Amino acid sequence: MKLEVKNICCIGAGYVGGPTMAVIADKCPEINVNVVDKNEKRLKGWNSLDLSLLPVYEHGLDKLILRCRGRNLHFSNDLEKHISEADMIFISVNTPTKSKGIGAGQASDLKWIDASAREIAKYARGETIVIEKSTLPVRTAQTIKEILDSSSLLNQNKKFTVLSNPEFLSEGSAINDLENPDRVLIGGDDEDSINALTKIYLKWVNPEKILTTNLWSSELSKLSANAFLAQRISSINSISAICEATGADIKDVSKAIGTDSRIGEDFLNAGPGFGGSCFKKDILNLVYIANHYGLKEVASYWQKVVDINNWQTKRVSSLIVEKLFGTISSKKIAILGYAFKANTNDSRESAAISVSKELLNEGGNICIYDPKVSISQIKSDLVEDPIHLSNLEKSEGGWASAPTAIEAIKGSDAVVILTEWEEFRSLNWSKVASLMRPPSWIFDTRSIIDLEDAKKYGLNIWSIGLGN
Ligand code: UDX
Ligand code: UDX
């Protein structure tokens, strides 16, 4: 395989493909990077002159786009052209959990991976390094290889190697994670291809941070890393319930256990349940694989991490209803934060979706404010049209979106903080109390507010993992 990479193509301009390619283009001005996507609306966003319309919100992404777009970073729908010119192709399409057929509810739907491999097989010319960037079930590389090899049999000029190079970026800090990774993992068996990819990362990553393994170890490491992170959250969330029951404080417990250097302080924040496109999907993938190999105990071990997560989210919505005297019918509830975490516009698998649906189902009128998630996204998640803010109080089980936190709070019986956006840490509690209908409740599912300050104004407060 040749070593010089001049043209990169990335299939999929999503939360992973877009930021990852922007960083590669920035660090490697000599390489031409083309990101292709079939979604015209997304492409329009990536090509927009107004950088606030980029489809992905990440701190620092706009500056990279401004610097590289049109220079050596391009977004287009011309799959044929860019695949045929590429020396290296990243597959970065989405792999949602299957909703029907074999493995429904657990296995990943690989139809887009399959389709991408076929397109590469069809349009590629010469020698091409194909890289799995999407998180995939272990041994997917084999499927990709088989599809590609069948086309090289027909055309001797086409030669492919497949590498796994999973992404460990965390949304909300994607650019920083890409620029300063803990490690870069490259799985494969063709030394030249591994060297070609390593050479790209070496432009900004220290060599000791680049780990190479075989394909399967690389694929499994990505799933396992996410499963371990999610497991910590389920563990701390389970302890949060014990804190509430016993009078302990989860913040103290997290600190006390996290200072043990063997445990470490990260990922010990109790919350309404983890969300995001990866954790649930990747654990379910592990469960599916374990079952496939007859490892029933392993499967049920990891399934529990997801079960506790669902339980935690449901626990939050149930106790809101309980604290509001068992009925929220026609009461106004302000939802502060809808993204699955702060600093992103992504709402995939956000706890806010299930909490909102439960509250709507109980007849509550919910008013949602999030600084970055669009109203059209919320509409598609809740599968229900919004009503105008001014009509919300006449409704029963309706939702509206508000332009500010204060607008959402006006006239509400309860405020539920679901995402840890910075602006919710410093709400003016005197003003909040004056705008709400008493007895007013604040539910802080991220334990971010200043309790002493808020309590001064007669607000009832429930904070996750805080026992009385
Ligand atoms: C990524 C990873 O790839 C996924 O495996 C991981 O588990 C979650 O993160 P992400 O970038 O977040 O996915 O997904 P998304 O934002 O949905 O972007 C995927 C893009 O691929 C979309 O813009 C979609 O239009 C595009 N796509 C999908 C194609 O261009 N062609 C296809 O055939 C399928
Ligand atoms: C995750 C992994 O961190 C990343 O390495 C991988 O590439 C993709 O999946 P992401 O889903 O973007 O990244 O966000 P992450 O910061 O891991 O948060 C996931 C969820 O866990 C969020 O809903 C977040 O609010 C929640 N969380 C995180 C907690 O509830 N408590 C914590 O202490 C940390």
User: Residue 141's pLDDT is what?
Assistant: 87
Q: Are strands 365-369 and 332-336 parallel, antiparallel or unpaired?
A: parallel
Active site residue 10: no
Asked if 75 and 46 touch (Cβ cutoff 8 Å), the reply is yes
Distances (CA, A) of 293 to 39, 135, 143: 37, 20, 18
Helix (H), strand (E) at residue 34: strand 32-36
pLDDT surpassing 70 at residue 2? no
Q: Give, rounded to a whole angstrom, the gap between the first and last alpha carbons of the chain.
A: 65
Which atom of ligand 1 is found nearest the CA of 111? 33
* The pLDDT of residue 108: 83
Evaluate the CA torsion angle 208, 210, 216, 221 in order and state its sign. positive
pLDDT recorded at residue 102: 87
Please tell me the distance between residue 133's alpha carbon and the centre of ligand 1 in angstroms. 10
Q: Over the stretch 382-437, which tens digit does the pLDDT of each residue have? A: 999 999 999 999 999 999 999 999 999 999 999 999 999 999 999 999 999 999 99
Mean pLDDT along residues 150-167: 88
As a whole number, mean pLDDT of residues 329-342 equals 97
Sorted by sequence, the CB contacts under 8 Å of residue 305 that are 6+ apart come out as 227, 230, 231, 234, 283
Nearest CA to ligand 1 atom 9: 16
Residue 440 pLDDT: 97
Query: Contact, 223 vs 167, CB < 8 A?
Result: no
C-alpha span between 278 and 95 (Å, rounded):
10
Question: Ligand 2 center to residue 274 CA distance, Å?
Answer: 7
446 Cα nearest atom in ligand 2: 30
Ligand 1 is surrounded, with C-beta below 6 A, by 11-17, 37-39, 42, 92-95, 112, 115-116, 134-135, 277-278, 281
* Three-state secondary-structure class, residue 367: strand
What is the residue-wise DSSP string for 101-117?
Answer: STTTTTSB--HHHHHHH
Query: To test ligand 2's pocket by mutation, which of 169, 231, 255, 279 has the most ligand atoms within 8 angstroms of CB?
Result: 279
Q: Which single residue is written with the structure tokens 């083309």?
A: 34
- Mean pLDDT for 37-66 is 96
Confidence (pLDDT) at 103: 84
Q: What is the pLDDT of residue 140?
A: 86
Higher per-residue confidence, 109 vs 229: 229
Query: pLDDT tens digits, residue range 26-46?
Result: 999 999 999 999 999 999 999
Polymer length of the chain: 468
Distance CA 123, CA 119 (A): 6
| Ligand 2 site-directed mutation target among 15, 134, 165, 171, most atoms within 8 Å of CB | 171
Structure tokens at 38: 């079939």
Which ligand is in closest contact with the Cα of 170? 2
Return the residue whose CA atom lies nearest to atom 14 of ligand 2: 170
**Protein residues with CB under 6 Å of any ligand 2 atom:** 167-171, 226, 229, 233, 267-269, 271, 274-276, 278-279, 340-341
Q: How far is the CA of 192 from the centre of ligand 2 (A)?
A: 34
- Position in ligand 2 atom list of the atom nearest CA 420: 25
3-state helix, strand, coil in the chain (%, to 5): 45, 15, 40
Reported as type and span, the H/E element at residue 452 is helix 451-455
Q: What's this model's pTM, rounded to 2 decimal places?
A: 0.94
CA count, 13 A, side-chain hemisphere, 370? 28
Burial-class residue 118 by CB neighbours within 10 Å (0-12, 13-18, 19+): middle
